Amino acid sequence: KAGVTQTPRYLIKTRGQQVTLSCSPISGHRSVSWYQQTPGQGLQFLFEYFSETQRNKGNFPGRFSGRQFSNSRSEMNVSTLELGDSALYLCASSSGQGADNEQFFGPGTRLTVL
Amino acid sequence: KQEVTQIPAALSVPEGENLVLNCSFTDSAIYNLQWFRQDPGKGLTSLLLIQSSQREQTSGRLNASLDKSSGRSTLYIAASQPGDSATYLCAAPEVRGNNDMRFGAGTRLTVKP
């Protein structure tokens, strides 16, 4: 069974630009969650999509948005990039709910904002 | 609101030693707790998931326990190897039943040959 894939793996952008990251979950999984990881803040939850609907949202500005398609693939968009957006962006795939709901992470996209 | 803490931030042990990593959480109504491993610059690899109804889970040389009353989980690694060197993170849902996972800051483990 293929794991979680994320593209691209590396991105370099300049301040003010926008960026779109993609995540393909494990086949059959309907939930995709996005996280930002930085040395100072650690792993922080951005949002979760389940069956094309945003189910949970973390405490990030509106510049961060996402969507999920009917095949469960998800995209995350960051507009008007700031230097502080430089981070490793990780997505997690899971079946959806339940105490046995194990999260599986992709390799991440390393975003550098210059 | 669930908060997760991991102490120590770093640990160095000689190869072959058995070791315990600690994870503390604030909400005893925990739904489940998951342990991950992260190698530098990589994504997270799931190690073990413990459901709230379970006391422990085992996978190979790894054993994770969950004590809801004390707000603690431990990850026991037997006969450590240099390949076990990585950062170990624990995480629990912020709210019972959702996928907003709260992570500890991690313990960076170094196993010296």
- pLDDT tens across B19-50, in order? 999 999 999 888 899 999 999 989 999 999 99
CB A4 within 8 A of CB A95: no
Secondary structure of residue A92 in the 3-state scheme: strand
Question: Which residue of B1, B30, B44 is the best one to mutate when testing the A interface, meaning the one whose CB has the most A CBs within 10 A?
Answer: B44
- Mean pLDDT (chain B) is 95
Give the model's pLDDT for residue A101: 86
The answer to whether A107 faces chain B, any CB pair under 8 Å, is: yes
CB B88 within 8 A of CB B39: no
Residue B108 has pLDDT above 80, yes or no: yes
> Sorting pLDDT into bands at 50, 70 and 90, what band is B12?
very high
Residue at B81: amino acid letter: Q
CB-CB neighbors (< 8 A) of B51 in chain A = 99-100
> Sorting pLDDT into bands at 50, 70 and 90, what band is B84?
very high
- Mean pLDDT (chain A) is 94
Residue A98 has pLDDT above 90, yes or no: no
Residue B98 has pLDDT above 80, yes or no: no
Tell me what the mean pLDDT of segment A22-35 comes to.
96
Nearest-CA residue of chain B relative to A103? B46
Q: Strand (E) positions, chain A?
A: 5-7, 10-13, 19-24, 31-38, 42-50, 53-57, 64-68, 74-78, 87-94, 104-105, 109-113
Q: Of chain B residues 1-40, which have a CB less than 8 A from chain A?
A: 31-32, 34, 36
CB-CB neighbors (< 8 A) of B101 in chain A = 33, 35, 43, 45, 92, 103
> Sorting pLDDT into bands at 50, 70 and 90, what band is B13?
very high
Give the nearest partner residue to B34 out of A50, A55, A103, using CB atoms: A103
> Sorting pLDDT into bands at 50, 70 and 90, what band is A81?
very high
Tell me what the mean pLDDT of segment A34-43 comes to.
95
> Sorting pLDDT into bands at 50, 70 and 90, what band is A96?
confident
Pairing of strands B62-67, B10-14: unpaired
| Tokens (6 digits) for B28 | 């005893």
As to burial, measured by CB atoms within 10 angstroms (0-12 exposed, 13-18 middle, 19+ buried), residue B63 is middle
CB-based contact B44 A105, cutoff 8 Å: yes
Question: Nearest 5°: phi and psi at A70?
Answer: -65, -20
Give the model's pLDDT for residue B1: 82
Task: State how far residue A29 is from chain B, nearest Cα, in angstroms.
Answer: 13
Rounded-to-integer distance, Cα B74 and Cα B25, Å: 11
Tell me what the mean pLDDT of segment A44-51 comes to.
94
Give the model's pLDDT for residue A86: 98
CB A23 within 8 A of CB A2: no
Give the model's pLDDT for residue A53: 94
Task: State how far residue B70 is from chain A, nearest Cα, in angstroms.
Answer: 20
CB-based contact B99 A105, cutoff 8 Å: no
Give the model's pLDDT for residue B95: 79
The answer to whether A42 faces chain B, any CB pair under 8 Å, is: yes
CB A89 within 8 A of CB A36: yes
CB-CB neighbors (< 8 A) of B45 in chain A = 105
